[in-house]
Each structure stands twice: as C-alpha cells, then as structure tokens.
Amino acid sequence: MSLTLEQSPPASPPAPPAPPRRKRRTSALDTGGAMVWATAGSLSMCLVAIVGLLLLCFFKGSTTFWPQPIHEFELTDGTQVMGEVTRDELFTTEDGRELRRRLVRVGNYEFTGEHFRWITDDQIASESNPEWALMVERRQALERTQAGPFYGTPKALEVDGEAVATQPEEIWKRFNELHGESVDRQLERQDLEKHDVGATNRLSEEARIALREVELRHGVDSPEWAAQEVEYKKVVEDATRRYELVRARIDHLNEENARVRLIMQAADGQEQSTPLADVVRAVPANQLSFAQSVGVYFSRWWEFLSDEPREANSAGGVFPAIFGTIAMTLIMTIMVVPFGVLAALYMKEYAKQGFLISAVRIAVNNLAGVPSIVFGVFGLGFFCYFLGVSIDELFFQANAPNPTFGKGGILWASLTLALLTLPVVIVATEEALAAVPNSMREGSYACGATKWQTIRRIVLPRALPGIMTGVILAISRGAGEVAPLMLVGAVKLAPELPVDGVFPYVHAQRSFMHLGFHIYDLGFQSQNSEAAKPMVFTTTLLLIAIIVLLNVVAIRVRSRLRARFSTSHI
C-alpha cells in the first residue's frame, strides 16, 4: 500500500485519474527457482569436495597395509627381479606405441641400492608369482641405516651356523616356532637399552649436575666440593657397576639372538642372512588365504598404532606422534580455555563497553586471522628463547650449555597453539555470554546476588554450550596445525615421550612428535619417498580420525549441557 503511495506523482492538485499501475511480472530470479539451483549447487559442490577428500584419504589410507602379491620378473637382459607392484600405468613411447610400465618395490636395498624400480612390459621375458616368495619386513638394525623389506625365497634356517631346515615348508614351520621368542628377546633388549641403561646414565648425570651445582655455589677448592666429589665418585662407580650388569644381560640376549638366522635368497641368487630377532614380520604373500591376509592387515595396523617408527619413519608405527598430538592438544585446551573464558568474561561482563573494549575486540578478531607461522615465530622468540632461556638460567644452570627449557618442547608448542586458538575461544565465549538473556542476570541481582555469584551460578552454566562450541573449534584448529610446531618443538623422531615412568613423569620441556608434522616429514623429507607415500595417506586418515574423535567427545559434552539448559516454551 505504501508502495503505491510513493509511486504516485508528487501532488499536482487536479490529479488525472491515475491509470492502474502496471504490475511487473516477477522475474525468475525473484521467484527463487534460479536461487534454489544456485544455492543447492554451491552446497553440493562443497559436499563433493569434502566427501571426495575424505574418501581419498580413506581409500588410500586404508589399503596401505593390505598384503600385495609378490611378482617375479625375468627380464630380457637375463636378470631376475622380485617385488610388489605399487603403481601400474600406460605411457606412450617415443615411437608412438602404448606401453605398460609398473613401479615395483624391489627392496633388498643392500644389494640393489634402490627401493623401487620401473619395469616396462617390453623388458619382461617372463613373469610369475612364486609360491614361496617371501616379504621379510626387517627391524632397522642399529648398524644399518637402511634395511627395508627383503624379497626372496627362504633358503635355510640356521641355528648356531647349522641349517636346521632347508625346505621352504620346513623353514616356514620352524621360523614360526622360533620367531616369537626371538622377538621377545629383542624387545627385552630394547627395553633394557632404553630404560635400564638410561637409568644408570641418569644417575651419573644427576650426580654430575649436583657436583656442578656445588661448584657453582662454593667453587672447586671448597670443602663442600671435595665432599660432593667423593659422593659423585661413589655414585658413578655404582652406576658403572649397574651398567655392567645390564650390559652383560644385553650381550647375552644379543648372542642368543645371533644364533638363530633366516637365510634368504634373492631373485638374482644372492643370499642374505638375517637374525630372526630383526624380522618384524615375514609374509608369504602369494599363498595367503583371505583370513590370513586380514590377519597381516590388522597386525600391521596394530603395529602402526602402537609402535615406534622404523626405517626413517617410512615404516613401523606412529604411536609417539599420536601421543604427542593428543597430549599437545589437551595441554593447549587446558591452557586456552580458562584464559579465553576469563578474558571474554571481563570484556562482556565487567568492562565498561566503550571505545577501548571495541578496539580490543577488533584486535582479538584480527588475531584470529594472523598466519599461524607468525605465532610459531613468536613462540620461538618468546617462549623458547626468552622464557625458556630465563628458566634455564634460574633453575638449570648446572645443565648448561645444554638447554632444558630454552629450546622447542611440548609445553612451548602447546602455549603457542593456545595463543593461536585464543581468539576462537574468546569470540565464541563472548557470543555465548551475549546470548544469555539479560532478564536472567536481572533476576539474580534482584535476589541479592553479587556480580560474581550471578556469573558463576547463572551466566556461565547457561553459556557453557556456546563456550564448548568455541572449545571444539579451538581443538580442531589446534590439533591440525603444523607450521608453528616446526619452530617450537615438533621433531621428526623423538627418542622419549613427554610423559613416562621416570620422575617427574611429565617432561614438559621435551620435544615431541606430531601427526601433522609426521605427514609433512613423510611426504617431503623422506629419503625413501615412494615407500613413504602410502604412509602419508594412512597417517592423514589417522589424524582426521583423532580430530573427529576429540570433536565427538566435545560435542557429546556440549549436547549433554544443552539438554540440561534447554530453553523454555512460554
């Protein structure tokens, strides 16, 4: 109605009888048909992209551990090659023919000097899947840097240098009997090396630091130092004695393990003798039943989830990275939530709304857009080099020049990420607080509650689901962030977890492994990039799964809270 009024010409007294205004036909855009398509189309594009990403990670990641058949190729130049086909593609040769080429994982690095090899079909004289082809996954022995898998056929099983079996069936049977105890010995040895040797080293190291502390305080000529030195010598002597005992046990285990060896013959006839203890898993891939394949598949998954990496991270497990990711995310959450919530409370509930608070709010919002690497640089400069070095100077002087806190570590990484996710928590909390109806606050004040009582009993419980949304966003952002971590403590291979059984149990200064960084390392830093590639997808799948898991937990908490504070119906 008012529209017609506006349209009529401005007051000309004897208004001619206005012709009925012609109504424009509603355009296709306005009726909405086109917009339905445009909006729905955009949504489906997003869905396709996301589902595509997840499916890719899922398929590539979940097939990595399925045992593949082992091929043996006789090439036209007379050589023999054995291995798994990892890629299969067609290409056009220079003279225009279409030819198939396959990338074969040939292993046996000590003989071939390569992990993978392209073989085109015109190079092949014959091809077979020998029944007793065996893929031996080897532990990375300390002496060798590159072990990798060995492809071949079993030649013999030796005990004390004497072959106890020479037929493949026989060897396979004896191998399975003996393998278990060899692995047990191997694990015991690793455990001794890691914990007991470490413990004796720690004893003498602590004594040395104590001595150094006395030296710093009283000087070398003081009677205190002399007394401390006697003590130090005693401890070192004791530690040495204990070390000898451990060493003897290790040597014994090593001897035992060296007795039992598997002799393998590669396709080209070269023989390789491997102690059974160094064999992680031997897979007779060409004769596996489906159930056995499933067994191998899950045993590899279990190793992946529970073990440490081998072969420069391209094989084995990622347990330290899983642990590091979760620990870092939790520490980050514990740090960021109280600070973010308190800051938002101040801004929304206490501060006088005005120019200053608006400026702070804009600054916080902008902080959310700062590139994450900038936070990394800040974390390195402030936490590691300033705070950490100061802590070292105050409390860990005896340890100098080795840094304790003055380098990247899980604490500094968590703090850096807490800073990174702080704006997310603040903004979400502020919104949640704003959504609490003022009438509730008034009701509480009218009952004689103080400001803090009102916040604690009315505002916070009511805002909790909204705050949880912020926490969820912060967790997602923090757990997936990699760039800043490279600067403040994530490493390729961490010798120790940040939490272990050694006093004081939590070692916040230690550097740590992180799944995101692990992916980067596998994908771009690996010497054996072809072997690392499938692990990239598997690790990505795992990272996604962990973030989803953390989110699901947080979302469940939130929906519980929601149910408790669901809104009314008047």
Partner 1 sequence: MFTQNSKMEEELTPHSDPSGKLPARDPGTAATTGGTAPIGGVFEAISRGESFVTETHEELAAEDPVVGIEDFDLHYGATQALFGVSMCVPRGKVTALIGPSGCGKSTLLRSVNRMNDLIDGVQTDGKMTLNGDSIYGRKVDVIELRKRIGMVFQKPNPFPMSIYENVIYSLRIDGVRDKNLLDEVCELSLKGAGLWDEVKDRLNSNALRMSGGQQQRLCIARAIAAEPEVLLLDEPCSALDPIATGKIEDLIDQLRGHYSILMVTHNMQQASRTSDYTAFMYLGRLVEYGPTGEIFMQPKLRETEDYVTGRFG
Q: For binding to partner 1 (CB under 8 A), which residues are involved?
A: 352, 437, 439-440, 442-450, 453, 457-458, 461-462, 564-570
Q: Which one, 7 or 438, has the nearer CB to partner 1?
A: 438
What is the length of the chain? 570
Please state the closest distance from residue 427 (CB atom) to partner 1, in A.
Answer: 22
Q: Which one, 5 or 563, has the nearer CB to partner 1?
A: 563
Measured between alpha carbons, how far is 406 from 389 in angstroms, rounded to an integer? 4
Measured between alpha carbons, how far is 227 from 95 in angstroms, rounded to an integer? 86
Please state the closest distance from residue 355 (CB atom) to partner 1, in A.
Answer: 14
Measured between alpha carbons, how far is 345 from 141 in angstroms, rounded to an integer? 56
Measured between alpha carbons, how far is 63 from 100 in angstroms, rounded to an integer? 23
Please state the closest distance from residue 341 (CB atom) to partner 1, in A.
Answer: 18
Secondary structure class of 404 (helix, strand, coil): coil
Residue 358: its H or E element: helix 355-367
Count CA within 13 A, CB hemisphere, residue 180: 4
Closest of 155, 238, 253 to residue 199, by C-alpha: 238
* DSSP string covering 521-565: HHHHS-SSHHHHHHHHHHHHHHHHHHHHHHHHHHHHHHHHHHHHT
Q: Which one, 12 or 566, has the nearer CB to partner 1?
A: 566
Please state the closest distance from residue 448 (CB atom) to partner 1, in A.
Answer: 3
Residue pair 322/516 in contact (Cβ under 8 Å)? The answer is no
Please state the closest distance from residue 437 (CB atom) to partner 1, in A.
Answer: 7
Please state the closest distance from residue 457 (CB atom) to partner 1, in A.
Answer: 7
Tell me the C-alpha to C-alpha distance, in Å, between residue 487 and each of 269, 312, 384, 412, 526.
Answer: 48, 21, 10, 10, 19
Measured between alpha carbons, how far is 329 from 323 in angstroms, rounded to an integer? 10
Q: Which one, 124 or 357, has the nearer CB to partner 1?
A: 357
Measured between alpha carbons, how far is 486 from 490 in angstroms, rounded to an integer? 5
Please state the closest distance from residue 454 (CB atom) to partner 1, in A.
Answer: 9
Closest of 195, 185, 162 to residue 278, by C-alpha: 185
Measured between alpha carbons, how far is 175 from 154 in angstroms, rounded to an integer? 10
The residue with tokens 């995101």 is: 516
Please state the closest distance from residue 566 (CB atom) to partner 1, in A.
Answer: 6
Closest of 370, 384, 371 to residue 414, by C-alpha: 384
Closest of 239, 228, 170, 256 to residue 202, by C-alpha: 239
Measured between alpha carbons, how far is 287 from 130 in angstroms, rounded to an integer? 9
Q: Which one, 66 or 452, has the nearer CB to partner 1?
A: 452
Q: At what angle do helices 223-259 and 168-191 cross, to 10 degrees?
A: 170
Measured between alpha carbons, how far is 297 from 291 in angstroms, rounded to an integer? 10
Please state the closest distance from residue 469 (CB atom) to partner 1, in A.
Answer: 17
Please state the closest distance from residue 365 (CB atom) to partner 1, in A.
Answer: 24
Please state the closest distance from residue 337 (CB atom) to partner 1, in A.
Answer: 21
Q: Which one, 176 or 450, has the nearer CB to partner 1?
A: 450
- Paired strand residues for 84: 70, 105
Measured between alpha carbons, how far is 193 from 386 in angstroms, rounded to an integer? 35
Please state the closest distance from residue 438 (CB atom) to partner 1, in A.
Answer: 9
